[in-house]
A = this chain, B = another copy of it.
Amino acid sequence: MAMKLLLIGFGHVGQELAGIMILNKSEYPGLRNFDPVISQIISPTRGSISDPSHEDIRRIIGGHNPKQRTGYSDLADFKDFAVRKIRESNYDVLVELSPLSISENGDPAVTYVREALMRGKHVVTANKGPVAFAHEELHDLALKNGAKFLFESTVMDGAPVFNMTRETLKGCRIHQISGILNSTTTFILSSLEQGASFDEAVREAQGAGFTESDPANDIEGWDAAAKITVLANALLDARMTPFDVRRRGIRDITQDMVREALENKSHIRLVARARNESGRVTATVGPEKIPEHHHFSGIRGTGACLRIETDLMTPLMITQESPTLSDTAFGVIGDLLTISQFLKP
Residues of chain A at the chain B interface (Cβ within 8 Å): 20, 27-31, 34, 152, 157-160, 163-164, 167-173, 293, 295, 298, 300, 311-324, 326-327, 330, 333-334, 337
Contact = CB atoms under 8 A, between A and B. Distances in A.
Given A158-B312, A321-B315, A28 B298 contact: no
Contact of A323 (B293, B311, B313): B313
B313 A173 contact: no
A312 to B, nearest CB: 4
Contacts of A169: 160, 334
A181 B159 CA distance: 21
11 contacts: A31-B171, A160-B164, A164-B164, A164-B168, A167-B167, A170-B337, A295-B321, A312-B333, A315-B321, A317-B318, A318-B318
- 7 closest pairs, A vs B, by CB? A160-B168, A317-B319, A167-B167, A163-B168, A312-B330, A315-B321, A314-B323
A100 to B, nearest CB: 22
Residue with the highest number of chain B CB atoms closer than 10 Å, among A159, A172, A300, A312: A312
B320 A324 contact: no
A312 B30 contact: yes
A316 B318 contact: yes
A167 B319 CA distance: 18
Residue with the highest number of chain B CB atoms closer than 10 Å, among A158, A170, A313: A313
A323 B159 CA distance: 22
A80 to B, nearest CB: 35
A164 to B, nearest CB: 5
A173 B31 CA distance: 9
B330 A322 contact: no
A275 to B, nearest CB: 16
Contacts of A159: 313, 316
A316 B312 CA distance: 23
A168 B156 CA distance: 14
A326 B298 contact: no
Contacts of A314: 157, 320-324, 327
B167 A168 contact: yes
Residue with the highest number of chain B CB atoms closer than 10 Å, among A20, A29, A315, A317: A317
Given A168-B167, A317-B319, A173 B312 contact: no
Contacts of A31: 171
A164 B159 CA distance: 10
Nearest to A318: B318
B170 A167 contact: no
A294 to B, nearest CB: 8
A164 B158 CA distance: 13
Contact of A298 (B295, B300, B315): B295
Contacts of A317: 317-321
Contacts of A320: 313-317
A193 to B, nearest CB: 14
Contact of A168 (B20, B27, B170, B334): B334
A159 B315 CA distance: 9
Contacts of A327: 312-314
Nearest to A279: B29
A300 B314 CA distance: 13
A160 B163 CA distance: 11
